Each structure stands twice: as structure tokens, then as C-alpha cells.
């Protein structure tokens, strides 16, 4: 039987994320402009930059404490609901990336 290699659909995104974490510039993107790989690398780089700039708030802290998104205490359709959910999603995405990268977070 032929052994299949594991495919990581987030490979370029994770590379860009790690590059931003290491302080590298977007001009360090190793992929040709106009390609999907270039765009995915840039997306990862931008995610990390955005994480460092955003006030993560109560939703982030709730996700850090293990709460689910359904435990949002604010009424649906309000700005507070959206802000809480955004913070929760940021933490959830960080956790998923940490798992992919084999990090404890």
C-alpha cells in the first residue's frame, strides 16, 4: 500500500504567522506574487500582526477559561455580542494554530 504524506492546508498561512512572530517583514514572503501560496502566507502574517494589535477583551478571556461561544452573555445582534464573539474567535484560532504547530497554549 502506498503511504500518503500528511497534507497541511494551513502550511503557508502558518509560515507567514511564524514569520511575523519572528519579526520578519511582508517583503520576506518566499512565494511569487499573485499566487495562492503568496496570499495564504500574507494572511498568516497579517493574522499575527492583528493579534498583537487587538484588544482581545472578555470573549478572549472566556475562551481562555474554556467557555464555548454559546456562552456569550450579551444579546445577539448587539455590538457587545459581536465584540465578545470576536475576542472568543481570536483565542479559538490561536489555540487551533498552537495545536497545528505542536505548541502548548
Distance from C-alpha of 17 to C-alpha of 41, rounded to nearest angstrom: 7
Q: What is the pLDDT of residues 13-32, one digit of tens each?
A: 999 999 999 999 999 999 99
Distance from C-alpha of 96 to C-alpha of 105, rounded to nearest angstrom: 10
Whole-prediction pTM? 0.61
% of the chain with per-residue pLDDT over 90: 66
Q: Residue 17: what pLDDT?
A: 93
Could you tell me the residue ranges of all domains in the chain? 11-22+29-100
Distance from C-alpha of 50 to C-alpha of 30, rounded to nearest angstrom: 21
Query: Which residues fall within 8 angstroms of residue 101, CB to CB, at 6 or more apart?
Result: 14, 18
Angle at 40 between CA 8 and CA 81, to 5 degrees: 95
Q: Please check whether residue 29 is in contact with residue 45, taking contact to mean a CB–CB distance below 8 angstroms.
A: yes
Q: How confident is the model at residue 36 (pLDDT cuts 50, 70, 90)?
A: very high
Give the residue from 104, 105, 96 showing the smallest Cα distance to 13. Answer: 96
Amino acid at each position: 500500500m502506498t503511504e500518503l504524506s500528511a497534507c497541511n492546508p494551513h502550511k503557508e498561512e502558518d509560515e507567514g504567522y511564524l514569520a511575523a512572530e519572528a519579526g520578519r517583514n511582508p517583503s520576506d514572503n518566499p512565494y511569487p506574487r499573485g499566487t495562492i501560496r503568496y496570499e495564504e502566507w500574507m494572511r498568516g502574517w497579517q493574522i499575527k500582526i492583528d493579534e498583537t494589535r487587538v484588544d482581545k477583551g472578555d470573549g478572549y478571556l472566556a475562551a481562555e477559561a474554556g467557555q464555548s461561544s454559546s456562552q456569550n452573555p450579551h444579546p445577539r445582534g448587539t455590538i457587545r455580542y459581536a465584540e465578545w464573539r470576536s475576542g472568543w474567535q481570536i483565542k479559538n484560532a490561536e489555540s487551533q494554530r498552537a495545536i497545528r504547530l505542536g505548541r502548548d497554549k
